[in-house]
Structure 1
Amino acid sequence: MRTDSFWSLIAEMKKECGQDMDASLQWLTEQLTARGPQQAQNFHDIFHGYQQLANQYGLWNAASLMCGGCSDDGFIDFQAWLIAQGREVYLAALADPDSLADTEAYGGCQFEALTYVGNTVLETLTGQSAYDSMDPAAYDALVAELRQDITYGEGIGYPYEWDELETYLPRLCAKYLEPGTVESMLETGSTIWYSGSPDIQKARAGGPPQRGVPQINMNMEGM
């Protein structure tokens, strides 16, 4: 299984099951079980690679709006939900998280069980863990390959605060943010990110990205 067959499987799942996440999980489990252990491992590795590549501050800002707040674990579950929307939605969200204003926010925008389906199938078939069976060097090469299809949009690696959010995600803010929320948060001194984190301080150094200025996008670490 490579990227095209991975996304074809996701698209077929979406076609067969729509927004029914329980049915989607059951359908995908049956498909991977029928394909055997190696395909289950491959699906697991590709899925986690795409999750890693979606680990971006700007996307987390979008997830917080759509989910009504988003913890570390909640963002992982959001990444799984995003992948379940299919290749087009996933790639568009990394190019511009505000594009998610066009995607229906069902199921709380979180799909935790989908993260583990490849591992569950492999354990059922062989008794082995997909996490333990993952080859680190091969996985790193896979992530580099998956990265080639992704165009990260401007600002995706920046953790936006309340007074910056409506400029970066105007459509999502208009759709999900209650009127007066930004003003209220600023008055009370509430922040979206923990300002004491060295990672946040580093990511926010220099302020929000300027329009038309190329940015270096990196996966978040230590969050």
Structure 2
Amino acid sequence: MNQTEFWQLIDATHQAAVGSLDSQETKLIEALAQHSLDDIVDFERLFRQYILAADDFGIIAAQKIIQGWVSDDSYLYSRCWLISQGEQVFFEALRNPDALAELAATQGNTDFEPLLYVADKAFAVLTGMEEDESFPRNIAYEQGLDYDGSTETKDEDWTEEQLPALLPRLWSKFN
């Protein structure tokens, strides 16, 4: 699986789920289970690369405004949600996190923890195996794709007083 195929899966399941994260999770697992084991592992690798690409102080600031708080877990889950919104939204948010203002205001839930497990679940469906070291998450981790503090957050840190000027559209929607 390459980047184009990854985003095609995300975009197609996002569109088919019509805003339901539960439905998107189910559709992704079903779609991935139709691919080869190597493709499922590639999906996990790409997913983790995008999680790391979104490790940015601007994305943290957006989450702080949208949810009112940030923790390590909530930050990870919000990046999952960002990926689930599709290629165009993802890359636009990386360029300009303030672009999330309208979308986040209509979504309600901007956490999507279950996206962390879709490759492993698809792998289990396809193989009938219980999770072990051969599962996509473990393979990607062994290859250095660890999203739990393994990289340095990009861009410049901010203070809460800077948020209204940093992301004015988000600030006006959520404050």
Please indicate, yes or no, whether the TM-score normalized by the shorter chain is above 0.5: yes
Q: Which amino acid aligns with 1:114?
A: L
Alpha-carbon offset, residue 39 of structure 1: 1.4
User: 1:76-118: per-residue Cα shift (whole Å, max 9, x none)?
Assistant: 0000000111111111111111111131342520000011111
Show the counterpart of 2:80: 80
Moved more, 118-127 or 95-104: 118-127
Identity of aligned residues (%): 29
Show the counterpart of 1:147: none
Are the structure 2 counterparts of residues 175 and 107 from structure 1 closer, same or farther at C-alpha, using a change threshold of 3 Å?
A: closer
Report if the CA contact (8 A) 1:58-1:157 is conserved. Answer: yes
User: SS state of the match for residue 159, structure 1?
Assistant: coil
Question: In the alignment, is residue 131 of structure 1 matched against residue 129 of structure 2?
Answer: no
User: SS state of the match for residue 104, structure 1?
Assistant: helix
Report if the CA contact (8 A) 1:98-1:170 is conserved. Answer: yes
Show the counterpart of 1:98: 98
Show the counterpart of 2:171: 173
User: SS state of the match for residue 108, structure 1?
Assistant: coil
Which has the higher relative contact order, 1 or 2, with Cα contacts under 8 A spaced 6 or more apart?
A: 2
Show the counterpart of 1:162: 160
Alpha-carbon offset, residue 157 of structure 1: 1.3
| Structure holding more helix per residue | 2
User: 1:133-186: per-residue Cα shift (whole Å, max 9, x none)?
Assistant: 23627x69xxxxxxxxxxxxxxx6122112211111111111112xxxxxxxxx
Normalising by structure 2, we get a TM-score of: 0.84
Show the counterpart of 1:200: none
Question: In the alignment, is residue 37 of structure 1 matched against residue 37 of structure 2?
Answer: yes
User: SS state of the match for residue 34, structure 2?
Assistant: helix
Aligned length: 161
Moved more, 128-137 or 39-48: 128-137
Q: Matches of 1:169 and 1:107 in 2, distance apart?
A: 19
CA RMSD of aligned residues (A): 1.8
Show the counterpart of 2:71: 71
Q: Matches of 1:77 and 1:55 in 2, distance apart?
A: 12
Question: In the alignment, is residue 52 of structure 1 matched against residue 52 of structure 2?
Answer: yes
4+ long deviations beyond 4 Å:
none
Normalising by structure 1, we get a TM-score of: 0.67
Q: Matches of 1:107 and 1:27 in 2, distance apart?
A: 21
Q: Matches of 2:76 and 2:166 in 1, distance apart?
A: 22
Report if the CA contact (8 A) 1:67-1:108 is conserved. Answer: no
User: SS state of the match for residue 116, structure 1?
Assistant: helix
Report if the CA contact (8 A) 2:66-2:104 is conserved. Answer: no
Q: Matches of 1:176 and 1:124 in 2, distance apart?
A: 40
Show the counterpart of 1:211: none
Q: Matches of 1:162 and 1:67 in 2, distance apart?
A: 13
Report if the CA contact (8 A) 1:63-1:78 is conserved. Answer: yes
Q: Which amino acid aligns with 1:90?
A: F
Question: In the alignment, is residue 108 of structure 1 matched against residue 109 of structure 2?
Answer: yes
Q: Matches of 2:18 and 2:97 in 1, distance apart?
A: 22
Q: Matches of 2:20 and 2:165 in 1, distance apart?
A: 34
